[in-house]
Amino acid sequence: MIPSRNLVIPVVAAAALVAFFLLSSPIPQDPAYHQFADARTLLGVSNFWNVMSNLPLMVIGLWGTLIVFRHHDILCLPGLELAYIVFFTGIILTACGSAYYHLNPANDPLVWDRLPMTIGFAGLFSLILGEFVSPRIGRTVLIPLLLIGIASVEYWAYTETNGHGDLRPYVVVQFLPMMLVPAILLTYKPAIGSTKYFWYMLLFYVLAKLFEFIDGQLYAAGGIISGHSLKHVFAAMASAAVLFALIKRRQVFDGDRVS
């Protein structure tokens, strides 16, 4: 039986989800979203820096996947290996999907940018729930979160095709977990390792969203790099914080396992 204290996060999430849909109208995709400040073509690659700035994400995703496959028995809580694999695989696929989208920004390729991100968010939220709240909860929610994330993107794509786009499910999938993570970090202690790397992850995530917001202003200020390109770099740094939280455990892990 799951302790009532551990049900607080799911209940809050469900209440926030219901309130969001009751109080908001459908959110169509803004066509201006596809208009990025830095559209330079270099070496024959359109939107070169927005494409190539995904390389750090690819490196972190591959590195993290390799680490988990090689050392999951001493670095991951029992049953959470899959959540880490899903997270880092989502990072790899996000790098590929984002690069593909930025070659020709439009709604259709944007689907292949957003689908991998929902995979990464599902893995991330599952492993945080597993590490801080309960390994069993983390294991249990992974598949449902994956299905919900994928469905949110497919729903948006379907509604856009039919002329009444609605991003609300995708907005929930992306932002609600990241809003709940600080509450989890403040309320629960990690089963192993340190909390600080997850705070770094949140900081870099917020900075990534900030740079996304000032894309044009930053590029206009110097004409060197855009906010969106830096968004990709800071998203990679957020992913790297999770990776280093895992790596540092080799120095403190005492061999005890949490069931």
pLDDT, mean of residues 22-36: 86
Identify the band that residue 259 occupies on the pLDDT scale cut at 50, 70 and 90.
very low
CB neighbour list of residue 74: distance below 8 Å, 6 or more residues apart: 249, 250, 253, 255
Contact criterion met (CB below 8 Å) for 70 and 117 = no
113 within a domain of the structure (yes/no)? yes
Q: Indicate whether 44 belongs to any domain.
A: no
- Domain with 155, as residue range(s), is 53-251
Q: Which of 150, 165, 68 is nearest to 116 (CA)?
A: 150
Predicted confidence (pLDDT) per residue in 157-183, tens digit: 999 998 888 999 998 888 888 888 998
More confident residue, 110 or 176: 110
Q: Report yes or no on 244 lying in a domain.
A: yes
Kindly report, residue by residue over 37-58, the tens digit of the pLDDT: 999 999 999 999 999 999 999 9
Question: Across the chain, what does the average pLDDT equal?
Answer: 89
Total domain count, the chain:
1
Confirm whether 245 is domain-assigned: yes
Phi, psi of 226 (to 5 degrees): -100, 165
- For residue 33, pLDDT over 50 is answered with yes
In this prediction, residue 11 carries a pLDDT of 66
pLDDT score recorded for residue 4: 53
Domain annotation covers residue 100 = yes
> Residue 34 pLDDT > 70, yes or no?
yes
**Which range is least confidently modeled, 122-126, 134-138, 205-209, 252-256?**
252-256
Q: What is the mean pLDDT of residues 5-25?
A: 68
**Can you tell me the distance from the alpha carbon of 195 to that of 43, in angstroms, rounded to the nearest whole number?**
42
pLDDT at 3 over 60: no
Q: What is the pLDDT of residues 17-26, one digit of tens each?
A: 667 766 778 8
- pLDDT, tens only, 44-97: 999 999 999 999 999 999 999 999 998 887 788 888 999 999 999 999 999 999
Note whether residue 202 is domain-resident: yes
212 band by pLDDT with thresholds 50, 70 and 90: very high
- Residue 176 has what pLDDT? 85
Predicted local confidence at residue 258, as pLDDT: 44
Determine, yes or no, domain membership for 153: yes
pLDDT of residue 10: 62
- CATH number, position 67: 1.20.1070.10
Confidence of residue 210 (pLDDT cuts 50, 70, 90): very high
Q: Is the pLDDT of residue 191 over 90?
A: no
Distance CA 63, CA 153 (A): 27
Crossing angle of helices 227-247 and 107-128, rounded to 10°: 30
User: Is residue 39 in a domain?
Assistant: no
Q: Enter the tokens of residue 89.
A: 């695989």
